[in-house]
Amino acid sequence: MIRISASDLDDPRTQERLREELTRIFHGSFDLLSRGGKVGECPTLRQKSTGLLFQLIPSGEFVMGLTEKEEGAARRIRDPIPVDIREMRPAVKMEVEAFLMTSAPITSRVFRRFASEAPTGVQFTDEPVFVSFDQAMRFATSIDCSLPQEVQWEYACRAMTETLFVWGDHLPVDQELEKWLSLDFKEGYQTLLNSNRFGLYGLFTGEWCRDEYRIRHDPAAPCLVGEHVVRGGGAMFWPWQDHEWVHCMSARRMPESGLFADRQAGFRLVRELTS
């Protein structure tokens, strides 16, 4: 395991060290494309075997779950908050090691190209593919990756923010929201859509995590056996009619039984920085 903090990304002298460390860890299976053009911007890597783009998510600490400050921001949008906030409590400080995460959700085009099975139902080529948890896991392991842990997903989504949404505490105008909620990831999407500080796009399409769903952020709280965590999802209801904004809260979480009847969701991949 190597530790790469967000402060390291502010230092241009770390670029060569990063390249050497990543080459050693991945045995040349990833190319380091850039350190990022802005101060603190996360480096982008390309997996040679698939061409998939990954962001280097730095190590750090964050508060996982809905804080009292965020609850206040939610109540200013709608009171009562149209979601059970007990599922996002208690808010707990967590430490996360650095890891790689795909810049965008896996699309139907990518899934069909590299998976040994075809996705079911109606799927659109350059939109996130929607599959069962088992299908997502099989795809991930087939290319030496995994699904994110829930703590990794929320940490990566927040990207050092401490607000209700990754973009702040308020709902922006529809034109700006569309840049966060678009499901279109055709070539060149990076110039059209919004990303967070870690360089992640499409965070609200509804994504699998590999954890079973624990009903609260408490190690003693029971798990729903066979029910995996799904994160994000606000883009699936766009344009919103009422309170669908709750699915874009950084702390928002749900069990897979809350999905549509087919229990299918999108996903993105992670790769641990292990020697």
Q: What is the pLDDT of residues 92-120, one digit of tens each?
A: 999 999 999 999 999 999 999 999 999 99
User: Phi and psi at residue 172, in whole multiples of 5°?
Assistant: -75, 175
pLDDT of the residue at 42 = 87
Angle at CA of residue 98, ends 272 and 229, nearest 5°:
65
Closest by CA to 42, choosing from 116, 103, 94, is: 103
Please determine, for residue 74, whether its predicted confidence score (pLDDT) is greater than 90.
yes
Lowest mean pLDDT among 105-109, 209-213, 244-248, 259-263: 259-263
More confident position, 111 or 26: 111
Spans of all domains in the chain: 59-94+103-267
pLDDT of the residue at 12 = 67
**What topology does CATH give the domain 59-94+103-267?**
paralog of FGE (formylglycine-generating enzyme) (3.90.1580)
Contacts of 171 (CB under 8 A, 6+ apart): 77, 165, 177, 245
Residue 91's Cβ-count burial label (10 Å; 0-12, 13-18, 19+) is middle
Query: What DSSP state is assigned to residue 197?
Result: T
How much is the average pLDDT of 114-132? 95
Closest by CA to 145, choosing from 197, 93, 210, is: 210
pLDDT of the residue at 10 = 67
Closest by CA to 102, choosing from 180, 61, 50, is: 50
- The reported pTM is 0.94
If you write DSSP's letter for every residue of 206-273 in order, what string do you get? -EEEEEEEESSS-TTSPEEEEEEEEE--GGGGPSPSSSGGGGGSTT-EEEGGGS-TT--BB---EEE-
pLDDT of the residue at 37 = 44
Peptide bond into 105 cis (omega under 30): no
Which pair of structure tokens corresponds to residue 174?
């529809």
Q: What is the pLDDT of residues 35-69, one digit of tens each?
A: 544 445 788 999 999 999 999 999 999 999 999 99
Report yes or no: 254 and 239 within 8 Å, Cβ to Cβ.
no
Query: E-strand spans in the chain?
Result: 30-34, 44-47, 53-57, 60-64, 92-96, 99-102, 207-214, 223-231, 253-255, 270-272
CB atoms within 10 A of CB 50: 17
- Tallying the residues shown for the chain, one arrives at 275
Question: Across all residues in the chain, what is the average pLDDT?
Answer: 92
Please determine, for residue 137, whether its predicted confidence score (pLDDT) is greater than 90.
yes
Cα dihedral sign for 23, 29, 34, 40?
Answer: negative
